[in-house]
Structures are given as C-alpha cells and as structure tokens.
C-alpha cells in the first residue's frame, strides 16, 4: 500500500552530525497503521518535555519514579525522564523488541561492532551503542515472535564510505540477510549517497550510509519548521476523502 505518493521530514534536537534524528514519513491515502511489537519506544531525558506535556494536557503515565510514558499520534510510545535535558542530545535511547536477546546481542555487538553498555538477563534487556555520547539502542525481549505490523521503519547509521563494502562482505560471509546490496542513490541537485541495508535476526531493517555524502544531504534547512507547518496546514485529506466519497485506507 506504500507505492504511491509520500512525503517525509527529519526532526530532532540538532544537526544529524551529532544528534539522533527521526524520519517521519507520510504516505498519501493511508489513514491508519497497524502497530506491531517491533518498535517499543524512544526515551528522552528532558524535564522540559514533561512540563510541556502537562501544560498541553497530554496524557502522562508514570511507569517508574520520574519516568513518564506518553503516546504520540498513531500510537508510538515515548518515555520522558523528568531530569535536566542532556547537553549532547536529549534522545537517550531507542528500544526495539527482539525474540531472542542473546541472538540479537550477538548480531548487533558481535557482527555490527556495537559496545554493550548494560545487560540484564532477568529483565531480558541490553543497552548497546557505538559511542558514549550518542543515542543508545536498547534491545528488549518480547516473549515471542516479533510482529512488524504495517508501520515498521528502519534504523540508519552513517559511517565512512570505504567501510560499506566490508560490512556487506561480512554479512555475506556470515550468511546474514542483505535487503539492499551496496548501491549508489542519486539525489537530484545534491550528493550521491552509498547505502547498504541489512536485516537482523528479527527482521529489523538497518541502513548503513556513506558519511561523506550523507553530511551533504543532512544539512539543516533553516526554513524547515516553516515548510513543515505550511505542509500540515495545507493537508486537507479528510475533506478530499469526503468529497470523493471514499474512506481513508487502513494499512
């Protein structure tokens, strides 16, 4: 259902050179998505976010002392830690569901080279990352198979362009799944970027991007906020569907 027209925007607390950024994709004609148990949430360290939610009347649920769960439109979960906002990046971790913690840790750490920061066998979770000052990846066992639903995405990392062939070769050697072999993608008027896209044991998509071209593509647009606000204001999809006597498609 996603082969039609789409738009996307990147949002974060700072430039992608040194911040985690979320890619939001809007598929035209799709009115609803089925969420699975693959994406378990994003954790932010920001008392300001907690304060903002309270001022706006956004429902908050305290799951542990000082940590609040909030649900974004569409059902995605965010966890807000009521602490002073981190200077490097308020986005502390992204949590993915896995079916076998040890197998997933072996993949992300043993093959992809992530450092293990924490591992809790009792709670069946592990915290990994590539650098101390970067957003972390949390793997959490879901007690069964991982369901990607119809709203799944992927995680992307940038690395030196010359590392991409080695990543692809390692995956081939270890008989791991490669969704998109190393390829160059043209962006009209901008850089040509090299990517290779993998899948971990539970089918989570992982994109490695050549850093040199990525830095050209990821420059902050000074008009980004206005462009996004204008696009949302101009979206009259509910009216369009009503005029055409159609219901929004559920995916």
pLDDT tens digits, one per residue of 197-227? 999 999 999 999 999 898 888 888 899 889 8
Q: What is the dihedral of CA 38, 199, 161, 8, to 10 degrees?
A: -40
Alpha-carbon separation of residue 62 from 47, 66, 67 (angstroms): 13, 7, 6
What's the token pair of residue 81? 């830690």
Strand segments (E) across 88-228: 91-98, 115-120, 125-129, 136-141, 154-159, 178-186, 192-199, 205-210
Residues in a beta bridge with 138: 95, 127
pLDDT at 249: 63
Q: Is residue 4 within 8 Å of 29, Cβ to Cβ?
A: yes
* Coil, strand or helix at 238: helix
Of 95-109, 157-171, 212-226, the one with minimum mean pLDDT is: 212-226
Structure tokens given for 182? 């190393």
| Domains observed in the chain | 6-233 (3.10.180.10)
Give pTM, 2 decimals: 0.90
* Residue 118: per-residue pLDDT: 97
Q: How many helices (H) and strands (E) does the chain have?
A: 6, 16
Half-sphere exposure of 95 toward its Cβ, with a 13 Å CA cutoff?
18
11 token code pair: 């949002």
Q: What is the pLDDT of residue 235?
A: 80
Interval 11-21 mean pLDDT? 90
Read off the pLDDT of residues 126-156 as tens digits, 9 standing for 90 and up. Answer: 999 999 989 999 999 999 999 999 988 899 9
The answer to whether the beta carbons of residues 192 and 161 sit under 8 Å apart is no
Mean pLDDT over 106-122 rounds to 97
Share above pLDDT 70 across residues of the chain, in percent, rounded to a whole number:
98
Could you tell me the pLDDT band of residue 248, with boundaries at 50, 70 and 90? low
Task: Compute the C-alpha angle 162/166/167, nearest 5°.
Answer: 105
Residue 135 has, within 13 A of its CA and on its CB side, a CA count of 24
Give me the pLDDT at residue 74, please. Answer: 83
Rg over CA atoms, the chain: 19
CA separation for the pair 223, 15 (Å, rounded): 14
């Amino acid at each position: 259902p996603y082969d039609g027209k789409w738009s996307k925007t990147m949002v974060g607390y700072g430039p992608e050179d040194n911040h985690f950024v979320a890619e939001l994709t809007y598929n035209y004609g799709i009115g609803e998505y089925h969420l699975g148990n693959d994406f378990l949430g994003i954790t932010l360290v920001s008392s300001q976010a907690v304060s903002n939610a309270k001022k706006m009347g956004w429902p908050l649920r305290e799951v542990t002392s000082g940590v609040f769960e909030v649900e974004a439109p569409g059902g995605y979960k965010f966890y807000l830690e009521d602490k002073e906002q981190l200077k490097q990046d308020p986005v502390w971790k992204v949590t993915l569901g896995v079916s076998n913690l040890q197998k997933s840790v072996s993949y992300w750490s043993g093959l992809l080279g992530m450092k293990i920061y924490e591992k809790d066998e009792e709670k069946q979770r592990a915290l990994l990352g590539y650098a101390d000052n970067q957003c972390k990846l949390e793997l959490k066992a879901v007690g069964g198979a991982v369901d990607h639903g119809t709203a799944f995405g992927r995680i992307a990392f940038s690395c030196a362009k010359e590392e991409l062939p080695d990543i692809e070769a390692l995956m081939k050697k270890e008989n791991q799944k490669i969704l998109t072999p190393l390829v160059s993608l043209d962006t009209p008027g901008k850089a040509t970027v090299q990517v290779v896209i993998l899948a971990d044991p539970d089918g989570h998509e992982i994109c490695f991007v050549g850093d040199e071209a990525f830095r050209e593509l990821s420059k902050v647009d000074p008009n980004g906020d206005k462009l996004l606000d204008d696009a949302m204001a101009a979206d009259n999809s509910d009216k369009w569907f009503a005029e055409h006597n159609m219901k929004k498609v559920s995916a």
